[in-house]
Amino acid sequence: MKIRLSVYTKLVAFILIWAVSACSLDIENVNGPTDQQVVNSRDGLITLSVGMRQVYSTLALESIILTPGTTARELRGITTFTNIIEIDQGGSSLPNFNGNVLSLWQRPLRVMAMAEDIITNAPSVLSSDPTMLSGVTAHAQLMKAMCLGGLAQSFTYGISQTSITGSAPFQTRDQLLDQAISLLKEASETIAMTPPSTEFTTRVTGTEFDLPNTIQAYLARYSLMAGNYADAIAAANSVSQTVASRFIYTNLAPNPLYNQVQIAKNYAARDNFGLPAALTESGDQRVSFYFTTDKTSFQDDAIVGLKGFATAIDQPIPAYIPDEMKLIIAEAIVRSSGNLNEAVEQINAVRTQTSGDPFGIHAGLAAYAGPVTTDDLLTEIYKQRSSELYLSGLRLEDSRRFDRPAPPDDVVPVPITFERSRNYYPFPLQERQNNLNTPDDPTL
């Protein structure tokens, strides 16, 4: 896939992609600045940095949450659009020309291209302004890492460096995670050595998006996925539990959950987080945080009104949920054969919380009273992650990592009794047609 677009197209891609998904977006704007004018100027790089995060938060994040969320039963497709129906049904017959799969692949790569432009050009353009340079560079490294992680969570292989020619080499998902981790470590070191300026915060991230904590949160997340448990614990421990880092939305750059669930009505929330009865618990206050009491059914599937972070067009969406860090620590302890009682303490810090979360997510449950064994604690951690981190784009990855029952490869649609309808997605047909390096599709 050819990724590089004109800068004008990059900055308005989140608008254009609504109308054009599969075709080329190399649209010339005769009145706009050229690529070189933007990436070779201070103001241009700052503007591109803001646009990059906006494209991520409105488009890439939408795909990362909604498509795997449907596959992993968090959501139910309730539309007549074939692409969403196919995702909901899952199974081995999911076509590689599915529009949702294309967006899940294409949108992160577009953000990556912007991040790469910034990382490449910032050192020379901002050489005389080290405090702006550190912020812009670390911010771009974070954005690219988030995109690499998003690809690794959904595909067996991905692209780690975009290509003008459309012939980028593929790397395994483990390699993608390793590169994401390296970028995040570099970003952390950069801002520790040279803290970003107040101007950077004012003009690029704003006060709602906390760069240092978000870098550490994603470092903890991807280190856990990669099996680097000591690093995951260290990064998670460094994340503040009182800071809320958010993606901000407006009428022109709408909250994608609100837009797709409440306005377009393409999706609905499944009852009880889409979990089997054995993984739900009465009295969980997170149910009333994420859902309304308006329960109904769609083609015999129980659905419920969605609240949480989908109640207004300009409602912020968390860059991460702070309690994810506690559950990362608990899981890392268990998987590294650590002290299981310490893992229980982290689990209980999530289960029994009734106040203090910066987003207002509190389980309000009793302390864990089950067996303190590796298998039982991993099941409990999966259960808590599924409720606490609902619609954060992590359920499909979690379902595989916790070895939840895999779907059958010979039944379409996959019965709802299975907690996911696929393991990974096929590579988009558009990529296969343009890139001879594209690997074989996974069976399921």
CATH code, domain with 357 = 1.25.40.390
In a domain, 47, yes or no: yes
Q: What dihedral angle (degrees, nearest 10) is formed by the CA atoms of 151, 153, 157, 160? A: 40
pLDDT value of position 60: 99
pLDDT computed for residue 37 by the predictor = 75
Exposed, middle or buried by CB within 10 Å (0-12, 13-18, 19+), for 376? middle
Domain-embedded: residue 29: no
Those residues with Cβ within 8 angstroms of residue 82's Cβ, 6 or more apart along the chain or in another chain: none
40 domain residue, yes or no? yes
Give the other-Cβ count within 10 Å of 341's Cβ: 9
The predicted pLDDT at position 11 comes to 56
Q: What is the pTM of this model?
A: 0.94
In a domain, 49, yes or no: yes
Residue 101 lies in a domain: yes
Residue type, 166: G
Sites in the chain below the pLDDT cut of 70: 1-35
- The 10 Å CB-count burial string (b at 16+, else e) for 40-52 is eeeebbbbbbebb
Bond into 413 cis (ω within 30): yes
What per-residue confidence (pLDDT) applies to 6?
53
Contact by Cβ (8 Å): 309, 392: no
CA distances for 3 relative to 161, 165, 334, angstroms: 10, 8, 41
Q: What does the alpha-carbon distance between residue 98 and residue 102 come to, in Å, rounded to a whole number?
A: 6
Q: Domain of 56? A: 7-24+35-197+204-434
How much is the pLDDT for 95? 98
Q: What is the dihedral of CA 335, 341, 347, 353, to 10 degrees?
A: -160
Nearest in space to 420 (alpha carbons), one of 440, 434, 402 = 402
- Other C-beta atoms closer than 10 Å to the C-beta of 346 total 25
Distance CA(173)–CA(396), nearest Å, equals 14
Rounded CA-CA distance 362/350 in Å is 8
Structural domains counted in the chain: 1
Q: Percent of the chain scored above 90 by pLDDT?
A: 91
Q: Using CA atoms, how far apart are residues 29 and 195, in angstroms rounded to an integer?
A: 36
2 domain-assigned: no
Q: Give the CA angle between residues 434, 436, 439 to the nearest 5°.
A: 110
* Residue at token pair 């419920």: 304
